Amino acid sequence: MWTGIDPTVLVTGAAGQIAYSLLFSIAKGDVFGKDQPVVLLLLDITPMLPVLDGVVMELQDCALPLLRDIVPTDKEDVAFRDLDAAILVGSMPRREGMERKDLLKANVAIFKSQGAALEKFAKKTVKVLVVGNPANTNCLIAAKSAPSIPKENFSCLTRLDHNRARSQVAMRCGVPATQVRNVIIWGNHSSTQYPDVHHCLVNMSGSELACFEAVKDDAWLKGDFIATVQQRGAAVIKARKLSSAMSAAKAICDHMKDIWSGTPEGEFISMGIYSSGNSYGVPEDLIYSFPVQIKDKTWKIVDGLAVNDFSRSKMEATAAELMEERDTAVSFLGV
């Protein structure tokens, strides 16, 4: 896998809480390979540079064998140069009393600027993962602002939702999460997302069962299970007084590792990708979470899965939400 050049990886929001877990995992080889050296570029806003210096000191103090170089900066023309991978975690947080529209406008400004910086400075093969919320729409704005980079190279994080769904089913069945495969997260990374287990398999007592057969509680799978996954982010905030960070960092690693090395045979994962309007009736020009398989750093939507009326209505509701947000966001692009 080693190409002769160490991957150059940007993490934005690098002084924040997700990055605090994420940077360690990347630097120790969880994402790009256990023998693959990496160069880390760390971007945050100017007032956070002193904090970022502390993070850099800690990374140095980990004395990791694979970390070739660390570059902290508040400048896009430094952060986005010659990138192989960009993990865009930093975004404008919701503040007390802030209007939804103003929040979206602030994020459009950030992702327009970062998209333009990708266009100008990054490699054309760069893989961009957007985490900062609203992740789907921020990702779309970044992709639109970098027209010479293929839209397929942009994705947003719904792997945390995917892992949550997998784990809920596993706990219910009393098996490790690794024995549950092919859950699907459809749509937006929000409470309208649809965690779908109609194609999920659970390996129990030596053989693989359809999820509904393994769980034997349709009411739970169609009710509380869905609500628990949809509202898990809020539940973590309520308990921790901070949003998910350890689990978000783990999901980012899973997502980027699969882009880099591919998904296991027979398994699919969920990620927010550009919809060209050709799969599952999802409208085009949205970043929408689909089931995908990845090979040779190229994803393919898992097509042809049966969709019943229950699923269809939930998939449409989350698409409608995203269309509305896209149209507002795009109207801010010109200003």
Ligand X SMILES: *[C@@H]1O[C@H](CO)[C@@H](O)[C@H](O)[C@H]1NC(C)=O
Ligand Y SMILES: NC(=O)c1ccc[n+]([C@@H]2O[C@H](COP(=O)([O-])OP(=O)(O)OC[C@H]3O[C@@H](n4cnc5c(N)ncnc54)[C@H](O)[C@@H]3O)[C@@H](O)[C@H]2O)c1
Residue 100 known to bind ligand: yes
Q: Whose Cβ is closer to ligand X: residue 114's or residue 137's?
A: 137
Q: Does 231 bind ligand X (CB under 6 A)?
A: no
Strand boundaries in the chain, DSSP class E = 8-12, 38-43, 67-73, 85-88, 127-130, 154-156, 180-181, 184-186, 194-196, 201-204, 207-210, 269-275, 286-295, 298-301
Among 326, 291, 286, 295, CA closest to 311: 291
Number of H helices, E strands in the chain: 12, 14
- Residue 141: both structure tokens together: 């704005």
Question: Is 132 labeled as ligand-binding?
Answer: yes
Question: Choosing among ligand X, ligand Y, none, which partner's interface includes residue 258 (Cβ < 5 to 8 Å by kind)?
Answer: none
Q: By CB under 6 A, is residue 194 in contact with ligand X?
A: no
| Residue entry with tokens 């085009």 | 284
183: left (phi over 0), alpha (psi -120 to 50) or beta: beta
Q: Is 134 in the site for ligand X (CB under 6 A)?
A: yes
Residue 197 binds to ligand Y (criterion: CB under 6 A): no
- Least distance between ligand Y and beta carbon 172 (Å): 22
Residues 23-82 that bind ligand Y (CB under 6 A): 43-45, 48
188 binding partner (options ligand Y, ligand X, none; Cβ < 5 to 8 Å by kind): ligand X
- How many angstroms separate the CA atoms of 128 and 151, rounded? 10
Is residue 153 marked as binding?
Answer: no
Residues acting as catalytic residues: 189
297 in contact with ligand X (CB under 6 A): yes
Task: Determine if 208 is a binding residue for ligand X (CB under 6 A).
Answer: yes
List interacting residues with ligand Y (CB under 6 A).
12-13, 15-19, 43-45, 48, 89-91, 93, 110, 131-133, 135, 157, 160, 189, 243-245, 248
